[in-house]
Structure 1
């Protein structure tokens, strides 16, 4: 049976009970949650990857509803989300609606067609129609409100534009300089632009044949065909009038027609699915896993080309209301910052899938944060290097609650050291990003960012070289944490493993600057040994050499970071049994959210273990949702991007493991499952493989023309 993406359309019949049952559309930057309520009204909740408020919250850009009369959806409808085409089709007996987020324009397009003429009314629901004040009461309000001297988020504006209606939010202030002050970084930004102040974003709807009336669009006369175009735009420092003029120009350039652009849109999605694919079948579990995989790949691609990285806690598709603010869909557990331990998992998946261009927003954010991260180290610790926080805003600062509010820090906090003990000595994240950058350079063949990425690596190494003492000629990592689980310790395994693979990877890189090469050469000779012990006759890896705080505070297995993300142990490598024995003795066993059991199991060739984990994970969507890849909330938020990314990465590794030169196909493949895949070794080299009834075939090919 020859499986293709066309076999995995998602279908649903009836109404949606809430926005949490919505279906996602996206073009890499602009998104929409779409649902039909019990009145037959269609809702579109828009989002964008750079819609940051005054308090550094990533919020929705607008909520619109479309009512048709006579109502063709009074009895519900059949929904088909065609992943192959990136399109949603809503079908009733005598009418249909098609929607897509145009792959080639910042626009969501809608086409309604009916057997008999229909009248339409499009309304804007301005749920941010008054200034909002926040204080930290729970994880859903994780923002900078506590330090911003009463700063609130300004109200949105709804207004008519030529041929349409618009809603936009303009930041009339910013928490940025208050955060700098709280984090002992006063004066840093005197000659730098504020990343939040004056930011403006929103959506404008245009429709030929509809007229503006009281900030709504209504039909001039019933028609059998109604076309709507929703344009999204973000900018910095503009007035709402300037923003509106620019969004109208977007409409003039790209038009309101939903038919003409659709062929190019579909072609872009088809190219995406043809370039890299995985299809698995053989039983119900295999089918469920494939559906989860392709739906997550779709969801990832809907948000992977924006100005900022994909948010681990919901991406741009959160659709939950604040209980205390009915109608407000901006709730996001853990707020606007990026947790490095969570965000990295999304990008390991993208790297393994050959989505090299999609890596750039993450790297660009990290590179842009370097100046403040370097200044932080110089100012607080008096040495060179950079410190990228584990919980970091897109502009390089800590979450204020993590660094500590003024009253918390007044109780004796050391300058530069966060009060949050979960991240106080957590340095592994920037090591992992540095290693990911080098792997990206090796696999992608891209050189445009090479020197900037090398400078990031150098600054990370300088921190580890100068922040810690030397003991008997070796770097002595203390105090550090072994992830969040062992929070004060010495010589933690994740940092040692990260330094080891990073320094080894540098030896294989081209055009390494002399300053970086000489630093790396010296540090290789100064690395401490991986912490290990013998338990019941078996050599195993340890989370750290010495535990100062002996209590576990989270549920990670740091000792297995030497398997993933830092591949010192695994298939084809020495001492595989050491890693397998360590995995078997792991303290925490979880197969959901950000937990890495599946990835580490497959890297060790433990076929049955990874299969069992993935079969369960594939069915763990949020019970409130209908879309298969709306996983969660798990530890974070629905749709949980760590859960889906881990699932994708583990499945890819079951079919192909490669170091960029050599490839190992089917390293952990169940005998009862069939598969067809196309996966990268590196840029320009792809492996196409099949396993049908136990017969495996593999061939190598180059990049597809035009893809």
Structure 2
């Protein structure tokens, strides 16, 4: 179809006819029980994630909550619940149904006329897990709380990949036992961190002990756990068992025989006294769940689904590839919503939905707490892919957890810079602990005596501090989409840019007499283009990020940034080198950098000016050179893949390469091969692989909608044989809705303002 301009009228006050809340066909229903925890369904809300499955007629679920870090910086599960009914209805006519629209799971069973339904849901306003048992006949319920941390554990070898120690623990690692209390009305289970934690060890390792009291420490006195309300339950006994490879202790509680029963569990973690923690966690379950609480949660999910959607070939069924891609997009977006309001961001390496690691790798006979690449360690290259798609999906309320992660660590990052190098600016490393310092294993325990104390002694991560720029740009986009207030984040953005300005002048002065090159430009050396092109001179991924963030910063309204500061950043832009190019077989391509010493990984940062930095692509004069880079750069083609954090599907979408984008998307968002279709991975990380799902979401969104200045490109990279119904968000409060069917638009609407559309 040739390009033509279409000016759309404003549509106000009415919902579209797209039926965006019609998600029934995307619900997941199983009519056979699961073999093990790997065949679980995700359930959650606010900051809680549950893996729910039925095995041998018992209902089980793991419990996880954002921010539940122990002294080793493992992100702990909060135990496992087992519900056993008698007489057990699940032996007959079994079904387990995840209902997306209402955010709950229904488990049903029983002979005709004797049916029982068990409903599980999480209150999105109070972090309370609710279990409702309703039957035709009276049923007794046994509730088991099961814990593998009933005694001290001693993780060794690869098992320490779940914490901050990884392959280099400085001493014997101990996971201290949890504590358990049966009280008249409540059963408490919690982990109370020891006085000395990973924070203390890392601060000493990185020569910051004199500044320890000035650093943010999220592990000190942290208590994580929860309470089971005993309103309808009586404590019976304790005992021991084994699930897969892991021994556990259980606490069993019985209910009276009844047609209806309600059970509640509240999870909570905080840096608090034990008395304060108990007071907070019990307040949430003091009273039975009200209809109002249920109604508010249902309203939250309805509003969530009304924000946006992408439905492909919805008139078909799961035998169709396009249908499965659309369904899996919605399933993964649902998984992200389960940690909508967590204290900490959704982790790239499993989120809140990891399970027994033996089902990922049979040699990993570890506890259910295990995940690869750490629990309190946040890898920026991976985390970014989890949060970028929330802009287009309109889920801006879910993004502050990621922004606050950096903002609360700003003081630590600035202090680190001042101590090591004596200048200003925040230095955030790639493998970043939740207290703002490099991961100790990546920092290196066996370092040369004269090695710069501010640099990680690591071939992959040295000099890599530009990834914070993506989150700075994300914050600026967050403002641009719906005019969200970002005043509290301006110091973070300015400090992140200041680091590059001052640090690379500092390094130049150490090498010679001049801080700038002969053209008056900064010299970004030593730099790194992602983890791949190392010891690079003016890496383009870094330059593109600096240019984009500084440019956007200089255009903010004066309510956010003064004229004086905006002028400063305009001058900083003038000090930045231009993007560099290279020739291969006579064709100009975007270069990774001017030169580099070696390659360490398999990323394609020469295309980062395409995504995330919005400098090359559809609707821009630069499209041809970017396409040539994608198609002709031998490294890009060698590394081209859909697996894990690889983002070639996004590049292809941004460059209008329809066949490439469709092929990579089809592999990226195809069924995972596990019982739950969106439990992808492990890829390079773990299961479920959230940066796999996030990169898939981004690529699909970009195939449908791209913005260049005041223009919106609709279906710029869309395979026309796929029918699609979509609602996506753009800059300046624009909401684009459309339906493409049988090779033509049957509806296209732009809400909130007139915008130039190119289709």
What band does the TM-score fall into relative to the shorter chain? over 0.9
Change (3 A) 1:617 1:324: closer
1:428 maps to what in 2? 466
SS in 1 for 2:411: helix
Change (3 A) 1:147 1:177: farther
- Give the Cα separation in 2 of the matches to 1:434 and 1:107: 33
Equivalent residues in 2 for 1:100-111 (5 A)? 100-111=121-132
2:109 maps to what in 1? 92
SS in 1 for 2:572: helix
Deviations 1:53-77 (A, max 9, x none): 1011111112111111112223572
Q: CA deviation at 1:333?
A: 0.3
Q: Are 1:664 and 2:677 counterparts?
A: no
Equivalent residues in 2 for 1:50-449 (5 A)? 50-74=67-91, 77-93=94-110, 94-135=115-156, 137=158, 140-144=161-165, 152-173=174-195, 174-191=197-214, 194-214=217-237, 216=251, 218-239=253-274, 241-252=275-286, 255-257=287-289, 261-281=293-313, 284-321=320-357, 328-336=367-375, 337-405=377-445, 408-410=446-448, 412-447=450-485, 449=486
Q: CA deviation at 1:150?
A: 5.0
1:456 maps to what in 2? 492
Q: Are 1:618 and 2:669 counterparts?
A: yes
SS in 1 for 2:495: helix
Q: Is the 8 A contact 2:179 2:190 kept in 1?
A: yes
2:751 maps to what in 1? 701
Change (3 A) 1:617 1:151: closer
Q: Provide the TM-score with structure 1 as the length reference.
A: 0.93
SS in 2 for 1:643: helix
Q: Is the 8 A contact 1:85 1:269 kept in 2?
A: yes
Change (3 A) 1:461 1:191: closer
- Give the Cα separation in 2 of the matches to 1:221 and 1:426: 60
Q: CA deviation at 1:371?
A: 0.9
- Give the Cα separation in 1 of the matches to 2:268 and 2:19: 41
Q: Is the 8 A contact 1:43 1:66 kept in 2?
A: yes
Higher relative contact order (CA 8 A, sep 6+): 2
Change (3 A) 1:214 1:577: same
Q: CA deviation at 1:411?
A: 5.8
Deviates more, 1:177-186 or 1:205-214: 205-214
5+ long unaligned stretches in structure 2: 1-17, 239-250, 509-515, 754-759
- Give the Cα separation in 2 of the matches to 1:683 and 1:563: 22
Q: Are 1:21 and 2:39 counterparts?
A: yes
SS in 1 for 2:188: strand
- Give the Cα separation in 2 of the matches to 1:204 and 1:612: 48
- Give the Cα separation in 1 of the matches to 2:126 and 2:134: 23
Q: Are 1:494 and 2:560 counterparts?
A: no
SS in 2 for 1:261: helix
**Aligned partner (choices 690, 693, 697) of residue 641 of structure 1:** 690
- Give the Cα separation in 2 of the matches to 1:685 and 1:529: 32
- Give the Cα separation in 2 of the matches to 1:212 and 1:659: 63
- Give the Cα separation in 2 of the matches to 1:256 and 1:37: 28
SS in 1 for 2:467: helix
**Aligned partner (choices 548, 557, 567) of residue 614 of structure 2:** 567
Q: Are 1:522 and 2:571 counterparts?
A: yes
Change (3 A) 1:517 1:114: same
Q: CA deviation at 1:192?
A: 5.1
- Give the Cα separation in 2 of the matches to 1:105 and 1:480: 45
2:242 maps to what in 1? none
Q: Is the 8 A contact 1:312 1:641 kept in 2?
A: yes
1:539 maps to what in 2? 588
Q: CA deviation at 1:136?
A: 5.1
Deviations 1:356-380 (A, max 9, x none): 1211111111011111111111111
5+ long unaligned stretches in structure 1: none
- Give the Cα separation in 2 of the matches to 1:116 and 1:404: 63
SS in 2 for 1:311: coil
- Give the Cα separation in 2 of the matches to 1:466 and 1:85: 51
- Give the Cα separation in 1 of the matches to 2:206 and 2:442: 10
Change (3 A) 1:548 1:410: closer
- Give the Cα separation in 2 of the matches to 1:248 and 1:487: 52
Q: CA deviation at 1:497?
A: 1.1
SS in 1 for 2:234: strand
Q: CA deviation at 1:85?
A: 0.7
Q: Are 1:507 and 2:554 counterparts?
A: yes
Q: Is the 8 A contact 2:216 2:409 kept in 1?
A: no
- Give the Cα separation in 1 of the matches to 2:388 and 2:309: 16
SS in 1 for 2:575: coil
1:9 maps to what in 2? 27
Deviates more, 1:315-324 or 1:9-18: 315-324
- Give the Cα separation in 2 of the matches to 1:71 and 1:590: 47
Change (3 A) 1:508 1:245: closer
Question: What is the total number of aligned residue pairs between the two structures?
Answer: 691
- Give the Cα separation in 2 of the matches to 1:307 and 1:47: 13
Deviates more, 1:260-269 or 1:494-503: 260-269
- Give the Cα separation in 2 of the matches to 1:154 and 1:660: 55
SS in 2 for 1:416: coil
- Give the Cα separation in 2 of the matches to 1:52 and 1:594: 25
1:471 maps to what in 2? 517
- Give the Cα separation in 1 of the matches to 2:365 and 2:469: 42
Change (3 A) 1:510 1:2: closer
Q: Is the 8 A contact 1:100 1:108 kept in 2?
A: yes
Q: Is the 8 A contact 1:136 1:142 kept in 2?
A: no
Deviations 1:244-296 (A, max 9, x none): 333222112xx333766333222211111011111111761110111110100
Deviates more, 1:670-679 or 1:260-269: 260-269
- Give the Cα separation in 1 of the matches to 2:151 and 2:82: 20
2:246 maps to what in 1? none
- Give the Cα separation in 1 of the matches to 2:96 and 2:557: 51
Q: Is the 8 A contact 1:147 1:175 kept in 2?
A: no
Deviations 1:291-313 (A, max 9, x none): 11010010011112100111000
- Give the Cα separation in 1 of the matches to 2:624 and 2:299: 47
- Give the Cα separation in 1 of the matches to 2:413 and 2:341: 25
